[in-house]
Amino acid sequence: MEAERCDVAVIGGGPAGSRTATLIARAGYRVLLLEKRERIGYPVRCAEAIGPRHDVERYLRLDASILSSPVNGFLVRTPRGETIRTDIDAIGFIVDREAFDRRLAETAAEAGADVRCGQQAISLLKTGGAVTGLTVRDLATGREYRVDAKIVVGADGVEGLSPRWAGIAGSLRPGEIFTCAQELIGGIDLPPGPIIEFHLGSRFAPGGYAWVFPKGNGEANVGVGLNPLRAGGRTACDYLDAFIADRCPDGKRRRLVAGGCSVARGLRALATDGYLVVGEAAHQNNPFSGGGIINALEGADMAAAAIGGALESGTASVKSLVSYTRAWNGSVGKTNEAFFLAARVFFNLSDGEMERVIRRVSRVPGVFDPGGVKPVRMILAIVFAYPRLLSRVLRLMIGGREDTSAGGGTS
Ligand SMILES: Cc1cc2nc3c(=O)[nH]c(=O)nc-3n(C[C@H](O)[C@H](O)[C@H](O)COP(=O)(O)OP(=O)(O)OC[C@H]3O[C@@H](n4cnc5c(N)ncnc54)[C@H](O)[C@@H]3O)c2cc1C
């Protein structure tokens, strides 16, 4: 089999992979970025919401070609149909995700990375237990080739297999994933703002939520993300149909997407000898919302810092990469853990309990602010609304990382 050589091989051309590749290439190393799809960012499987400008522009300048709509607040519709609206100027944006991902990959190529589409990683190569490269299939020709790399980065997203090949993660279980379906709807009535909408309760999204995210020009991403274990045998598309029939029956359906979104608890270890994992493949999504674009970029920065140090020291052992796991677990990973606990309690409430909790949470100052949702305050508000939930929160906390199940309902 033909062999190539590089310093770092990155599997996956999403935000995590492109950002990691950019930073390593900028440091002067030979980087190969492999994406199995023919086109970066396409097809889009995303509701396209991101946070405020200062958060995003750490990674990418937000110009008109990437932005679809500003977001100036949000609306929550409770299971009984009450709406609670919060206006916060410039809380975020809806982007054109394909353009966003393409720009990130172009930035990697400009930094010197060799960006290749239609190339699927099919296995990792190991020497004495350490990852030393991978095998790749060119999907256009069927040709297989070997890539020897000092470090391999798994940025292969929710369907990624590389963390399993490396032995640092198992496959996601049904309760660790939101099953999603979304339609781009034209000619939809939207509240002024623009604001994003979250619709809660078992009617449209058991164990998750339904959303309406404005794209401008009278269009919106209208979707549902739910816990398949609580869906009663119905699919996400069934729930989406019901939601659309209720929220925008006269809207024009323009593009259906379906996919899974990780809401799993964070991984204990993010690296092993010669390999590290970043982005959604590393369970770095926010486990409450499922959002993961900015988290993937933050993870990439931390991964790249550790890779740079390892390459400089001439060793790719897990010891030289462990700073990445520590950096993540000590920062975003910690917040994600609080979000995980909040989600496990909140999304398993009955509709009646959820109704009461939402009213309570919406009155607690500081749970929602321009900096985002504060998970610890949210947990406290939930527990104050339902003191008997305290025991479940404590069980989850004491249970450590072993409890990744969907939990049971409380009704
Ligand atoms: C319906 C839906 C709505 C969402 N909405 C939002 C939202 O509004 N806001 C938000 O922040 N997040 C959202 N997310 C989550 C968000 O899309 C992900 O968290 C984000 O894309 C993670 O980035 P990533 O780079 O880790 O993975 P990805 O963007 O998934 O990139 C991984 C890449 O790896 C490639 N790949 C996989 N295996 C291989 C292989 N063997 N060889 C080569 N390439 C491979 C894939 O083709 C893919 O391009 C949503 C997800 C879904 C499903």
Pocket test for ligand 1, best of 257, 261, 275 (most atoms within 8 A of CB): 261
**Residue 325 corresponds to which amino acid?**
T
Range 3-43+99-171+265-329 has CATH code 3.40.50.720? no
Distance from the CA of 9 to the center of ligand 1, in angstroms?
A: 18
CA-nearest residue for atom 41, ligand 1, is: 121
Atom 27 (ligand 1) nearest CA: 157
Query: Atom of ligand 1 at shortest distance to CA of 294?
Result: 11
State the Cα–Cα distance between residues 277 and 169, nearest whole angstrom. 10
Ligand 1 centroid vs 229 CA: distance in angstroms?
22
Closest atom of ligand 1 to CA, residue 258: 1
Contact 22, 111 (CB under 8 A): yes
| Cα-Cα-Cα-Cα dihedral sign, residues 235, 240, 245, 246 | positive
Residue 261 CA to ligand 1 center (angstroms) comes to: 8
- Residue with CA nearest ligand 1 atom 52: 46
- Residues 280 and 305: their CA atoms lie apart, in Å, by 19
The HSE-up count of residue 326 (CA atoms within 13 Å, CB side) is 8
60 CB neighbour count, 10 Å cutoff? 18
Burial of 20-33, coded b for 16+ CB within 10 Å and e otherwise, reads bbbbbbbbebbbbb
Which amino acid residue places its CA nearest to atom 38 of ligand 1? 156
| Residue 122 identity | I
The CA 259 to ligand 1 mean position distance, Å, reads 10
**pTM of the predicted model as reported, rounded to 2 decimal places:** 0.94
| CA of 257 relative to ligand 1 center, distance in Å | 13
Per-residue pLDDT of the chain (411 residues; tens, 9 = 90+): 778 999 999 999 999 999 999 999 999 999 999 999 999 999 999 999 999 998 999 999 999 999 999 999 999 999 999 999 989 899 999 999 999 999 999 999 999 999 999 999 999 999 999 999 999 999 999 999 999 999 999 999 999 999 999 999 989 998 899 999 999 999 999 999 999 999 999 999 999 999 999 999 999 999 999 999 999 999 999 999 999 999 999 999 999 999 999 999 999 999 999 999 999 999 999 999 999 999 999 999 999 999 999 999 999 999 999 999 999 999 999 999 989 988 988 898 999 989 988 888 777 766 666 666 677 777 777 777 777 777 777 776 665 544 443 333 322
Ligand 1 centroid – CA 377 distance (Å): 29
Ligand 1 binding pocket (C-beta < 6 A) is 11-17, 34-37, 45-50, 120-121, 155-160, 180, 182, 223, 259, 261, 279-281, 285, 290-293, 296
Name the residue at shortest CA distance from atom 21 of ligand 1: 293
DSSP lists the bridge partners of residue 71 as 92
Q: Which of 134, 150, 154, 166 is nearest to 314 (CA)?
A: 150
The set of residues, in sequence order, having a beta carbon less than 8 Å from that of 249 and lying 6+ positions away, is: none
How many Å lie between the centroid of ligand 1 and the Cα of residue 357?
Answer: 31
Q: Buried (b) or exposed (e) across 207-230, using 16+ Cβ within 10 A? A: bbbbbbbbbeeebbbbbbbbbbbb
The rounded distance, in Å, linking the Cα atoms of 169 and 271 is 10
* Contact in structure between 31 and 112 (CB atoms under 8 Å): yes
For the CA of 281, the nearest atom of ligand 1: 26
Atom of ligand 1 nearest to the CA of 97: 17
Q: Quote the CA–CA distance of 201 and 138 in Å, as a whole number.
A: 45
Distance 47 CA to ligand 1 centre (A): 11
Q: Ligand 1 center to residue 97 CA distance, Å?
A: 10
The ligand 1 atom nearest the CA atom of 280: 26
CA distance 309 to 307: 5
The ligand 1 atom at the shortest distance from the C-alpha of residue 101 is 29
Beta strands in 287-366 (DSSP E): none
Cis status, amide bond into 174, omega within 30 of 0 = no
- Ligand 1 mean position, distance from CA 157 (Å): 5
Q: What is the pLDDT of residue 407?
A: 37
The domain limits of the chain are: 3-43+99-171+265-329, 68-94+174-262, 346-402
H/E/C letters for each residue in the chain?
A: CCEEEEEEEEECCCHHHHHHHHHHHHCCCCEEEECCCCCCCCCCCCCCEECCHHHHCCCCCCCCCCEEEEEEEEEEECCCCCEEEEEEEEEEEEECHHHHHHHHHHHHHHHCCEEECCEEEEEEEEECCEEEEEEEEECCCCCEEEEEEEEEEECCCCCCCHHHHHCCCCCCCHHHEEEEEEEEEECCCCCCCCCEEEEECCCCCCCCEEEEEEEECCEEEEEEEECHHHCCCCCHHHHHHHHHHHHCCCCEEEEEEEEEEECCCCCCCCEECCEEECHHHHCCCCCCCCCCHHHHHHHHHHHHHHHHHHHHHCCCCHHHHHHHHHHHHCCHHHHHHHHHHHHHHHCCCCHHHHHHHHHHHHHCCCCEECCEECHHHHHHHHHHHCHHHHHHHHHHHHCHHHCCCCCCCCC
Question: How far is it, in rounded angstroms, from Cα 126 to Cα 135?
Answer: 11
CATH, domain range 68-94+174-262: 3.30.9.10
- Res 374: pLDDT: 73
pLDDT at 389: 74
Give the mutation target among 10, 46, 136 for probing the ligand 1 site: most ligand atoms within 8 A of CB: 46
Site to probe by mutation for ligand 1, drawn from 35, 56, 161 as the one with most ligand atoms within 8 Å of Cβ, is: 35
Mutate to test the pocket of ligand 1, among 104, 116, 158, 237 (most ligand atoms within 8 A of CB): 158
Shortest-distance Cα residue to atom 12 of ligand 1: 291
